[in-house]
Amino acid sequence: MESHATWAEDAVYDGINDWHWYINRFLSTPDLPLFSRFVYGAAFFQNWLSETYGVDIQRKIWIAAKTSTTADAIRLTAFGGSWDPIRNFAPAEYTLGVSDFTTDPTSIIPLPATLPIRATHSSYPVNVTVGPSTNKVDNRAPWGLGANFVEFVPAASGTLSLSFDGADGYAWRALVVVVATPNNGGSPTTYTISLNGASAGSISISGFGSRWAKVTLATTLTPHLRPTCSRPWRSRTRSST
């Protein structure tokens, strides 16, 4: 309710941008379940929903919430019954990809700070296994409807080959994207890694170091039975010149 109310302020009084003050706290925990993050700052998610699915999606969610949980109202109304489209929210978080930050005039309210990055790699090959986060051990592995970000910086020009393997039996469902940041400062390009039935997949990004200044792996985990489960994953990466 609070994220909708904060979204409504901006929808009616777009030039004020008071909601910018809440964004840093929301973006500081991208790995946590979406519905467990700072509710006022979650207006960022509501803005992304309305820009992606139309401004009337908010009214439809409220109507659906009369007979469903909030999570189910969003899943059924905006996403057609599947959580798979939530993978597109991770790049929007990483790039601040909503119009208030990309097309609106400059606001006196500061832009959000940079998202917390789980790791940055500049030496290849690299092989990383990430275990599950828990309430006692936080390693930024994504929980249900959460995401994390790993950056790869070129050591030389060539092709970046990246493999992902989510823990078997969990809810990885083709929810890995790569955001490539160009050298010329233009808009990033997003690529999707298709995962097989064993939650594994790979992708090669040419122009690493020449066209692309940085490549960022953004992983999202959708819930299976409940949106509060953290699962491990493994990334193998190499850069060929």
Closest CA to 148 of 160, 137, 133, 161: 133
Tell me how far CA of residue 1 lies from CA of 24, 28, 46, 65, 234, in angstroms: 19, 21, 11, 11, 36
Percentage above 70 pLDDT, the chain = 88
Last residue of a domain, one of 58, 76, 102: 102
Question: Per residue in 184-213, pLDDT tens?
Answer: 877 888 888 888 888 899 999 999 999 898
Quick one: 36 and 67 in the same domain?
Answer: yes
Quick one: 131 and 75 in the same domain?
Answer: no
Model pLDDT, residue 239: 52
In this model, does residue 31 exceed pLDDT 70? yes
Higher pLDDT, 100 or 79: 79
Question: With bands split at pLDDT 50, 70 and 90, how would you rate the model's confidence at 123?
Answer: very high
Find the CATH number of the domain harbouring 147.
2.60.120.380
Question: Per residue in 143-184, pLDDT tens?
Answer: 888 998 999 999 999 999 999 998 876 666 434 567 777 888
Model pLDDT, residue 234: 63
Contact 201, 193 (CB under 8 A): yes
Model pLDDT, residue 181: 79
Dihedral of alpha carbons 86, 52, 120, 25, sign: negative
The reply to whether 198 falls in a domain is yes
- Please state the domain count of the chain: 2
The reply to whether 108 falls in a domain is no
Quick one: 80 and 125 in the same domain?
Answer: no
Whole-structure pTM value: 0.86
Of 21-35, 95-109, 149-163, where does mean pLDDT reach its minimum?
95-109
CB neighbour class for 88 (10 Å; exposed up to 12, middle 13-18, buried from 19): middle
User: Which residue range forms the structural domain that includes residue 7?
Assistant: 2-102
Quick one: 173 and 231 in the same domain?
Answer: yes
Question: Per residue in 54-77, pLDDT tens?
Answer: 999 999 999 999 999 989 999 999
Place of tokens 């999606």: 57
Quick one: 145 and 236 in the same domain?
Answer: yes
Quick one: 126 and 234 in the same domain?
Answer: yes
